[in-house]
């Protein structure tokens, strides 16, 4: 069964470019700007600041700065839009959702008469990535059809193999729904050659893609402070992944055909679940009363994934419809290692203003499947991905009654040949009376990417814009 599924995925790569294993590896290697309202409002640049639960997934040394126990909770509301540009046409799809950004508990234990001022424990979870998205692509293709690609894949397959169900998945789907027929020349069968029941005229092509799920991390952290000069910490991270994708590709004739074929529908469904583990260690050093530097190292994340995949095809004629589907729903397991990450950071305080910056290095080309049979995918990962940098900066001004914040984060493009970097602009406001705090943040996330309907069509440009409103409520005791 596993070899059948691998063969199916290989064929899928030849037809629909976005459903590839190297893209799965990248998806589970990248993180968003997510977490508490204060953390996100300052662009996530907390590597040298500390005292913020979300930073335990970045630099756990910040845990050593807590002098009180604390509990916090963060809901997030998102509105996402994706605009596609295909064949002189544009289409926009919207998606909204609400979720929990983080939930955290800090337990602080002071140590009297000791250079180690306290031992702190942090337990909770942080959201790392949100997969909720909708994409609509629509346009007229004057040059080719997805059937042309299927015929190309079917060439050389004997007709009897298709009759007996021994063809590859897409060829079998097309054969059983009368999308393709054998080629005859002067009433003689040319075995292994096929023709399309679509005409060569222009066709309207439409695709709707909906994804959902998230990647979150349950964390257990330990931190301490040495003479209020050196802060150290460590985090055990246990990520949990839940990803679902459903896509529907429709191709319609703009004129009648000899066989009265009107349109085809190709649907695909992918469900993926996974868990893993990683370790993070970090330190923050106070150079002076107002200046701190920090550093952290994240080990690779070791993930075990389980996937279910199903594909179906339907063809619709003028007076009737013929439907045929084929799928594999037996769980398919694989193991993945995501890249390690290195973080350096600095912060300063003057008057009532905090300024912080953070620099991250991550090499996406080092992601690797360590399940037998993924040599092609691993080679592709090393060839198309690269080492890149993330830059985060933030500022906070305390006006006593309220606190104002702003931040910027840029995530470098993981691709060698394309600049698919991601920018985040964030703003926030908060109140803190010592016993409780309330924070609100807004994030504008902007990025571009590409999607291919199939390999005969040039990649289609996608522009993604996401608006997030984040609330955090916390109590100290």
Pick from 69, 77, 128: which is nearest to 102 by CA?
Answer: 128
pLDDT at 120 over 50: yes
pLDDT at 367 over 90: yes
Give the whole-number percent of the chain exceeding pLDDT 90.
73
Residue 15's pLDDT is 58
pLDDT at 19 over 60: no
320 contact partners, CB below 8 Å, separation of at least 6: none
Q: How far apart are CA 243 and CA 368, in angstroms?
A: 19
**3-state secondary structure at position 55:** helix
Exposed, middle or buried by CB within 10 Å (0-12, 13-18, 19+), for 88? exposed
CA 367 to chain CA mean position, Å: 14
pLDDT at 4 over 60: no
Cα(first)–Cα(last) distance of the chain, in Å? 56
Q: How far apart are CA 422 and CA 447, in angstroms?
A: 5
Q: Where are the beta strands (DSSP E) in 227-290?
A: 230-253, 261-286
| Buried-exposed string 311-335: b where 16+ CB fall within 10 A, e elsewhere | bbbbbbbeeeeeebeeebeeebebe
Residue 260's pLDDT is 77
Residue 197's pLDDT is 87
Residue 20's pLDDT is 43
Fold category of 2-145+198-476 in CATH: Porin (2.40.160)
H helix runs in 302-448, sequence order: 375-384
The encoded tokens of residue 16 equal 């629909």
CA 187 to chain CA mean position, Å: 52
H helix runs in 319-414, sequence order: 375-384
Contact 414, 398 (CB under 8 A): no
Average pLDDT, the chain: 90
Residue 16's pLDDT is 52
Confidence of residue 416 (pLDDT cuts 50, 70, 90): very high
Confidence of residue 7 (pLDDT cuts 50, 70, 90): very low
Residue 46's pLDDT is 95
Residue 455's pLDDT is 87
Residues paired with residue 393 on neighbouring β-strands, in sequence order: 357, 408
The encoded tokens of residue 159 equal 């007709």
pLDDT at 115 over 50: yes
pLDDT at 266 over 60: yes
């Amino acid at each position: 069964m596993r070899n059948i599924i691998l063969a199916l995925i290989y064929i899928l790569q030849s037809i629909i470019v976005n459903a590839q294993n190297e893209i799965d590896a990248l998806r589970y290697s990248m993180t968003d700007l997510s977490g508490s309202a204060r953390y996100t409002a300052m662009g996530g640049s907390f590597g040298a600041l500390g005292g913020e639960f979300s930073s335990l997934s970045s630099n756990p040394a910040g845990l050593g700065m807590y002098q009180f126990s604390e509990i916090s909770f963060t809901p997030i509301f998102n509105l996402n839009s994706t605009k596609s540009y295909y064949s002189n046409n544009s289409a926009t799809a919207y998606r909204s959702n609400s979720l929990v950004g983080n939930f955290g508990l800090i337990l602080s234990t002071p140590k009297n008469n000791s250079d180690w001022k306290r031992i702190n424990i942090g337990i909770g979870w942080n959201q790392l990535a949100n997969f909720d998205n909708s994409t609509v692509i629509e346009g007229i293709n004057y040059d080719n059809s997805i059937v042309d690609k299927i015929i190309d894949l079917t060439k050389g397959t004997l007709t009897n193999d298709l009759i007996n169900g021994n063809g590859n998945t897409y060829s079998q789907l097309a054969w059983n729904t009368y999308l393709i027929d054998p080629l005859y020349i002067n009433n003689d069968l040319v075995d292994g050659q096929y023709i399309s029941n679509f005409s060569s005229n222009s066709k309207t092509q439409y695709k709707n893609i909906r994804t959902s799920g998230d990647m979150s991390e349950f964390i257990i952290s330990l931190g301490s402070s040495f003479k209020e000069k050196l802060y150290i910490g460590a985090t055990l991270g246990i990520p949990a992944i839940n990803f679902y994708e459903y896509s529907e590709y429709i191709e319609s004739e703009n004129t009648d055909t000899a066989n009265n074929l009107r349109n085809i529908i190709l649907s695909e469904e992918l469900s993926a679940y996974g868990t893993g583990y990683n370790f993070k260690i970090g330190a923050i050093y106070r150079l002076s009363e107002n200046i701190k530097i920090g550093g952290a190292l994240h080990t690779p994340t070791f993930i075990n994934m389980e996937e279910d995949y199903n594909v179906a095809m339907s063809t619709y004629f003028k007076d009737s419809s013929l439907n045929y589907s084929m799928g594999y729903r037996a769980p398919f397991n694989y193991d993945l290692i995501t890249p390690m990450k290195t973080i350096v950071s600095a912060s300063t305080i003057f008057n009532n203003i905090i300024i912080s910056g953070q620099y991250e290095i991550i090499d996406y080309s080092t992601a690797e499947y360590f399940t037998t049979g993924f040599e092609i995918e691993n080679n592709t990962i090393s060839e198309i991905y690269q080492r890149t940098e993330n830059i985060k900066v933030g500022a906070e001004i305390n006006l006593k009654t309220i606190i104002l914040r702003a931040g910027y984060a840029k995530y470098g493009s993981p691709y060698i040949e394309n600049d698919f970097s991601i920018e985040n602009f964030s703003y926030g406001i908060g109140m803190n009376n010592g016993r409780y705090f309330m924070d609100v943040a807004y994030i504008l996330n902007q990025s571009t990417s590409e999607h291919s309907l199939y390999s005969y069509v040039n990649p289609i440009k996608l522009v993604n814009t996401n608006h997030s409103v984040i609330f955090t409520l916390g109590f100290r005791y």
